[in-house]
Amino acid sequence: MDITSVGVVGAGQMGNGIAHVFALSGYEVLLNDISSEALSGAVALIDRNLQRQVSREKISQSDKDAAMARISTTTTLTDLGKCDLIIEAATERETVKQAIFEDLLPHLQPHTILTSNTSSISITRLASRTDRPERFMGFHFMNPVPVMQLVELIRGIATDDETYQTLRKVVDRLGKTSASAEDFPAFIVNRILMPMINEAVYTLYEGVGSVESIDRSLKLGANHPMGPLELADFIGLDTCLAIMNVLHDGLADTKYRPCPLLVKYVEAGWLGRKTERGFYDYRGETPVPTR
């Protein structure tokens, strides 16, 4: 199947990055969000990020102009029904995702492929609530999307091979690399990454090290580009907690129990960079550890 038009649900951190890379790769992109302000902010951010690529000579000015011309926006979810491929990139809550797919179903073309950018939720379960489980997959991009090379492809129990092969070709056209993951909680990347972040929070919680010493230890001792607490702030502590809860509930193993300190930060609304406070306080010129 030939994909030419792509609908993206959600204009947040992931959605605008997904729209960016698809438009730059020649796809017509329709970006949806319930907020017109979020849409205009996303388009402005994509423009800035593309301009940064121009200034670094990664792309030409004409590449940027053509990509921007391929992006349109709508606050009406059902407008996406005309697209060949739809990528849901809404908040990491299963009820929200289910409601989005249920609203889309009556408006889809017969050949439309549905995907979710979920980082942890069962693809089989999401697909079962649609009329096309054979044309439904997990399409998990890494953050930030324009920079990170990996895309996890997750087949549900009913996903057919044509859908899988079509999305593999899409990933190739984006200039990225795909990794196939089975449909188990958190797939591959977050199955490994989130328990590491959770353990870093436990290390802080138990007083083994400070925020600064934990992050410095992993950056210099394990050659990680970001420390685990800095990375958690970048991802969003609410997202980290949601994934840990999916792991804990789905695998019933106490090693996935979310650290109480992570829960406390989320309860406080300290979600990381997006709220300007998490394990670091971002309200000044330089981030300051909060513990």
33 annotated as ligand-binding = yes
Catalytic residue among 16, 32, 119, 198: 119
Strand order of the sheet with strand 28-32?
Answer: 71-74, 28-32, 5-9, 85-88, 113-116, 136-141, 150-155, 177-181
13 annotated as ligand-binding = yes
- Catalytic site residue 72? no
Cα 95 from Cα 149, distance rounded (Å): 29
10 annotated as ligand-binding = yes
CB 110 within 8 A of CB 81: no
32 annotated as ligand-binding = no
E strands, 19-129, are 28-32, 71-74, 85-88, 113-116
165 annotated as ligand-binding = no
- Catalytic site residue 94? no
Of the CA atoms within 13 Å of residue 179, those in its CB half-sphere come to: 12
Catalytic residue among 152, 178, 198, 230: 152
The angle subtended at Cα 18 by Cα 265 and Cα 112, nearest 5°, is 115
Alpha-carbon 203 to chain mean position: 26
82 annotated as ligand-binding = no
- Catalytic site residue 190? yes
- Catalytic site residue 140? yes
CB 59 within 8 A of CB 20: no
207 annotated as ligand-binding = no
CB 239 within 8 A of CB 119: yes
In the 8-state DSSP scheme, what is residue 272?
B
245 annotated as ligand-binding = no
- Sequence-ordered list of residues with C-beta below 8 angstroms from that of 215, at least 6 positions apart, any chain: 226, 227, 228, 229, 230
12 annotated as ligand-binding = yes
Catalytic residue among 32, 190, 198, 230: 190
72 annotated as ligand-binding = no
Phi/psi of residue 85, nearest 5 degrees: -135, 135
Residues taking part in catalysis? 119, 140, 152, 190
Which residue numbers belong to the known binding site for NAD(+)? 10-15, 33, 92, 97, 119, 143, 274
Which residue numbers belong to the known binding site? 10-15, 33, 92, 97, 119, 143, 274
